[in-house]
A = this chain, B = another copy of it.
Amino acid sequence: MRMTNALIPTLRDVPADAAVPSHQLLLKGGYILRTAAGLYNYLPLGHRVLAKVEAIVREEMDRFGGQEVLMPILQPAELWEESGRWEVYGEELMRIKDRHDRQFCLGPTHEEVITDLVRQTIGSYKALPLRLYQMQNKYRDERRPRFGLMRGREFVMKDLYSFDLDEAGLDAAYEDMYQAYTNVFNRCGLTFRPVLADAGQIGGGYTHEFNVLAENGESVLAICPDCDYAANQEIAEVKASPVTYPADEAALEKVHTPDAKTIDAVAAFLQVDEKQCAKTMMFEADGDLICVLTLGNDEVNEVKIQKIHPCDQLVLADQATIRTWLGADPGSLGPVGMPEDIPIYADQALKGGQGLVVGANENDYHYTHVNLDRDAKVAAYGDLRMVVEGDACPACGAQLTFTRGIEVGQIFKLGTKYSEAMGATVLDENGKARPLIMGCYGIGVSRTVAAAVEQHHDDRGIIWPKSLAPYQVHLIAVNMKDETLAAIAEKTYKALTDAGLEVLFDDRKERAGVKFNDADLIGIPIQLIIGKGTVENGEIEWKDRRTGEKQMVQPAALIQAVKAFYDYE
């Protein structure tokens, strides 16, 4: 492709609203263009990279028995009512009415549609196992779309769904997809890590996220340096390590703690260690109030709360509700005297807690000498806090380390959640109807493009992994006004393209500096520079975009060298 023909609108300045390198560089390099918040165009270069990711994903899905289909983006509400998700999905689901006032949504995922598809088409276990996938736009009405392709409202996903008769079949599908995803991200040239994760609104039990490691990742990963354990911080287990509390037989005492509304303020005011204080938080779980206690400044983990108290929607209770029920404000709350119908859940570190300080459910007052077993009615103790760096690995006990990642894929064991709700059964060998055992497996195709840039760039621009580069070679004619030089460049362009290589040819009548800057920004792995030297002695300068190393290549050896560069990947 000649740059004089191509739409590659590189920018000099970083757009003000672009906060992370992938967003900045994809805009600056002319890969994407914004139409509205969270809605982007893939310009020709961006589309080429996207297509390369898609091709790799397709190959790996096909390799593991995937059959490609294409489902509607518009999904009827009736199907979501069958699964029960129409009510619980919340504001991220984009809902739309047709001219007859029927309700639809723009698919954020396709469990309902594919379960309906399969129940309509198969009836016997003989049709199993079945693995169906599609590559398609998905929709999520983010409150704050941001970071360009990383968190948009419309994005390209691959979603595969597996259907089996039994758990062993699901296990096999899950393992195959784990391997397929490993292949995909390896082939994309990305450093990544699969970690245990939360199933969120998809449901099901067991799930792994695939994270591309990058500074600007929104996920925090807890990784064991000694064993295989790796989990998203959201769900990483805290190993139970009982706290020994010094005996304190003293009776409850209500003390005045003016303006002390945080653990640190209370501990300082009362001159006790923060680990002697318990923090009390109130949540609404599907509308019901619940109380959660954690030790000192430990951060509460909402995913874990939803495990101990299963619910669809969990939100912090608001001040008005808390005041109505407890007569006090956050900062002065505590388990003592909690109304009977509000269950109290306490982190495992508080088990046997005594001599504690908690809020008195009266503004500016706390209780001291609290013995939880004696003074409060804890419904259950459990792992309710966020893991922190240095915590013990739940598998081997070594100290966990943290790193950041961008979630580019997730695989789920769904089990029978959708098939039971929607009546998707098959007859087994004995003629008995059994609900299908399902798994679902997603790759954020457009987000993978952004993640690749986050992981592969420098101050000057993008440095594409070989398999994702929009073109394999960036051919730069230093001065197209020099007829001899231009003729050599044209000849080289023809030779490279005739050899089946993908070449971006900078044939513009621009200054050399502009061309070099654009080439580094665009980030094609090999730059071939036709300059004065080429005119004089025929040699072509080869610049490796990643290392910056330059070497001179004889034209006769050029094509072989480029092919070798790409083949040994």
Give A residues with C-beta under 8 Å from B. 1, 4-7, 9, 30, 33, 35-36, 39-44, 46-48, 50-51, 65, 67-76, 79, 91, 94-96, 98-99, 104, 106, 113, 116-117, 120-122, 126-127, 130, 132, 137, 139, 141, 143, 153-154
A10 to B442 alpha-carbon distance, docked (Å): 29
A42 to B67 alpha-carbon distance, docked (Å): 11
A5 to B127 alpha-carbon distance, docked (Å): 7
Q: A9-B122, A120-B33 are in contact. Are A42 and B69 (CB under 8 A)?
A: yes
Contact assessment for B39 and A154 in the assembled complex, using a CB-CB cutoff below 8 Å: no
Chain B residue contacts of A33, Cβ below 8 A: 117, 120-121
Contact assessment for B99 and A143 in the assembled complex, using a CB-CB cutoff below 8 Å: yes
Contact assessment for B99 and A67 in the assembled complex, using a CB-CB cutoff below 8 Å: no
18 further A-B pairs in the complex, CB-CB below 8 A; given A9-B120, A95-B96: A1-B67, A5-B65, A7-B130, A9-B122, A33-B117, A36-B72, A40-B72, A41-B71, A42-B69, A43-B69, A44-B68, A44-B69, A46-B69, A51-B68, A73-B73, A74-B106, A96-B96, A96-B106
Chain B residue contacts of A141, Cβ below 8 A: 98-99
The 8 Å CB contact of A154, one of B6, B72, B94, B116, is B72
Q: A7-B132, A96-B94 are in contact. Are A73 and B137 (CB under 8 A)?
A: yes
Number of copies: 2
Chain B residue contacts of A154, Cβ below 8 A: 72-74
A75 to B106 alpha-carbon distance, docked (Å): 14
Chain B residue contacts of A5, Cβ below 8 A: 65
The 8 Å CB contact of A71, one of B35, B79, B127, B130, is B35
Contact assessment for B67 and A44 in the assembled complex, using a CB-CB cutoff below 8 Å: yes
Q: A91-B99, A120-B33 are in contact. Are A72 and B7 (CB under 8 A)?
A: no
Closest Cβ neighbor of A95 among chain B residues: B96
A4 to B129 alpha-carbon distance, docked (Å): 10
Contact assessment for B99 and A70 in the assembled complex, using a CB-CB cutoff below 8 Å: no
Chain B residue contacts of A4, Cβ below 8 A: 126
Contact assessment for A35 and B99 in the assembled complex, using a CB-CB cutoff below 8 Å: no
The 8 Å CB contact of A113, one of B30, B35, B91, is B35
The 8 Å CB contact of A98, one of B50, B51, B94, is B94
The 8 Å CB contact of A74, one of B7, B39, B98, B126, is B39
Contact assessment for A75 and B9 in the assembled complex, using a CB-CB cutoff below 8 Å: no
The 8 Å CB contact of A41, one of B7, B70, B94, is B70
Chain B residue contacts of A104, Cβ below 8 A: 36
Contact assessment for B98 and A69 in the assembled complex, using a CB-CB cutoff below 8 Å: no
**Min CB–CB distance A294 → chain B (angstroms):** 32
The 8 Å CB contact of A117, one of B35, B48, B74, B106, is B35
Interchain residue pairs with CB less than 8 A apart (5):
A7-B69, A7-B132, A35-B117, A48-B68, A106-B106
Chain B residue contacts of A94, Cβ below 8 A: 96, 98
* The 5 residue pairs across chains A and B that have the minimum distance between CB atoms: A9-B121, A39-B72, A42-B70, A44-B67, A96-B96
Chain B residue contacts of A30, Cβ below 8 A: 121
A126 to B143 alpha-carbon distance, docked (Å): 40
